[in-house]
Structure 1
Amino acid sequence: MAKLALLIGISEYQPGLNALPGAVQDVKAMQRVLQHSEMGDFADADITVLENPQRQVMEEAIETLFSGREKDDLVLLYFSGHGIKDEAGRLYLATSQTRKNHKSGLIQTTATAASLIHGMMENSRSRRQVIILDCCFSGAFAEGMKAKDDNTVDIKNQLGGEGRVVLTSSTATQYSFEQEGADLSVYTRYIVEGIEKGAADTDNDGMISVDELHEYARKKVQEAAPAMKPEIYAVKEGFKIKLAKAPIGDPQLEYRKEVGRCVRDGKISLIGRRILKRRQNELGLSVEVADQIENEVLEPYRKYQENLQEYAEALIEAVEDEGTLSQYTRQELKRLQQLLQLRDEDIEQIETRVIAPPTPQIQKSGEEKTAKNITLEPPTTEDDLSSEKGVDYTKLRDLLAAGKWKEADIETCRVMLQAIERTEKGTFTQDALLNFPGADLRTIDSLWVKYSDGHFGFSVQKEIYFSVGGKLDGQNYREAWEKLKILVGWKKEVFTSKYIDPTFNTSSPRGHLPIINYGSHLQFVRQSLFSRMEVVCASRLVKSNI
């Protein structure tokens, strides 16, 4: 019995098809885990790697892979690159020569037809054939992510058959992405991780079957990009083809699997934390190793939270710019949603927070502010609107004075980005927040505190954080942060990823506003701002004593 693999990665294309730098890196990663004696255990001589091949070279290599095989041979074909369909919906794998005509249609003689591969598979005597396709449809060529396919294709019909199993990075109607700044595409990353870490061996038999590998990668991909749905197609025993080995009794692997069992909604529960502490001691792992494993397991979910945050920030900017969103802006937001691989239900929750009509306001004194009878507090000329960066805080003051808490929250995000000179980037960084202009931070916080009668403000949130045992010494006081989120009304339960929709009136818990960032960045922003506020306050005390 022989084990043979052909790994094809195409990063360089003709004009009309976007370059995919990660495709060649995908192949190198696959080669590494397949040829490792404790993982794939493929002989070096039995792994063929093609980087940016021309069509004829690619087709000859595929034919060589399947021809002259024995029935028990394991044959693996891996492809990372563009997948394209012709006008009849037939799938082609793009080569470095693939071109499109003046109508953007595929020039078929420049690409490898799936039907050609199908014929080679059928003519092969091998009864164990594994196909892994990391490709989908093109069009998402925005900064930060690049798509890897062209249009809808029916992979099951075109590559299915007896004794075969086909793993795909997405369905026939979805994008598959490589992320800018990442070495590997999303799907291949977790295929490699499942083999390399041994984590895909869910039945602990020391072997990773194709279905186990698919299930591991599918779960991880959907944690990072829920809208992306890897699929598997198999006939007969294709599901159970053994593809790689996994260590048995390895402490780090055991802990990794334990972490996976303790994760709930992207977080480790309180009880789960106790379980992991005990298991860490039992397995003899250092704190550093345990933390590294936890971070690796939780990373896909954190990526998902970052994507949610990016969309929310884009929506806030659009609302601030237009008020009522134009059709063109909605189309752009839909495009961004596709690139971030967010589901419609994700977008619905974000839009509810950002553009839902504000609820009736209630003053702290008990007088209700209704839509029909609102008593506005006139802006005072005594407000200190100082700024070290020339930021105009007049609008923020007026919104707060009018009790327009939701609009004020959006405006707060805008002026903060302006103060740290990241308006174009649209994101906060730890370094920028830790060096936030002192005068600007005092202005923003004092306006919130004043016009809410001490009910809202960053300093109010900091006070609550300290009251539940939180500190600003560089350590992560998880329980204190979770208690803060409960007390200010951001969450109902600790250590859950689910946040409560904001309440933009003074009937909400003390410290509920400003929010600015919901999700994974909420704590990150507060921790940095609270630390900066301590420095600013200390600086003022020193100056007053001089």
Structure 2
Amino acid sequence: METQPIRILFLASDPRVVDKIRLGRELAEIQDRLENGEKFELADRWAVRPRDVLNKILDKKPQIVHFAGHGMETGELCLEDDQGNVQPVSPEALAALFKLVTGFVKCVVINTCFSETQAKAIAEHIPFVIGMNKAIGDKAAVEFATGFYTSLGADPSIENIEKAFDFGRVSIQLSGIPAEHLTPVLIFGDPRRRFRSEVEQVQSRLQQTGSMAAAIFRKALQEKGKRMGLSIEEVEAITNESLELIKEFKRKLQGYGEAFTDAIRDEFPIEDETREALKFLQQELGLRQEDVAPIESTIENDPRWQTAEAFFDRGLNQFNLGEYQKALKYYTRSIEIRPTYSSAYLERGTTHYKLDDLQAALEDYDSAIKTDNNWEGRGLEDAYFERGSGWGEGINLASAYAKRALLYRAKGFTQEAEQDIQSFVLLNTKPEGEEIFDNEEAETDSQKVM
């Protein structure tokens, strides 16, 4: 089972009319404690305005949101306006904001003075919220953050959050700050929300939701739900609902992966217009860039998409769409990878012919005949025919049919040979059709495929 890293968003606000505090040191301490990059992803935003909070949360989709800065004794959180002045935000407004992001935010830390009121309001929607029940000094605030993130486990479960909270308090005590270790308070949200968070954490680790491990985890979750005061009916309902959400998420990932595979099968590298279309699909599926990045990387680095055959197939697709310049690009790349790829020369020659570049077409037909290797679909007889027909109408086109008839006959394709002989007769101005079989050059060509 693979554990996903915890995403943490650090939001700092320090209005210029308020006494400065050591927010930089707080962030530095958190970064130092989260040095294990596989367990955590930390993003930060400074000089936070009210609109920045929601934008950043929606952009990063963090599991933990950490506020650092100032709080007012009346319960408001001090953010900034466009001029850098104090912009108070009420507990009700914060609660309304976090109501919109309950799908991924599991814990909020408000490391500011007088933030218990805000914490209680936010806990109506978020499983765990930490606030301060009075003013807290700069040093104590930094020490709490240091202890909290030092001991934070690999997921925001009840046990890990409680342990980290206790370590934060102990860190204040060890620093010799009198009585301030009692300032931080941990507010638990609705038990149903907390249990849902536990279920989601467990299911995010599972490779298969129907595995034996999933069945054992389900039994463990039932026991945890009982300890949290939930009925067995509530436990089953929440577990099943979360399971469906996980299945839906995986279905969306699979759908995106299929679309990306289709794109790279047809274009390599993927063109800007297609990238825009994929981005639109990603947004409509509600997937983050972090969700789709591993999928894209796995598919793009698959060596089968960079073979001569893959580029040849892209050329065929673009040719059929009438995108002849793109087809040329892919056929050329195919030939660069495999210089003896006769089919690529043949199809590139046909593409040049479509673009009225007869000389280039004839050169490619010659290359297809000389290499006589790696044929797909059309073969050597087609290369001779295309080369012959490329010289014009009338007797030259008739000669092309005649040569291909000989090649078909040599391969035992009697019906195809007869059809080409009939075409020759219709085009040839000479009545004696048997003369074609005395043609020295045609006989030489036929020997090459016998």
Q: Report the TM-score, using the length of structure 1 for normalisation.
A: 0.30
- Higher share in helix: 2
Tell me: higher relative CO, structure 1 or 2? Use CA pairs within 8 A at least 6 residues apart: 1
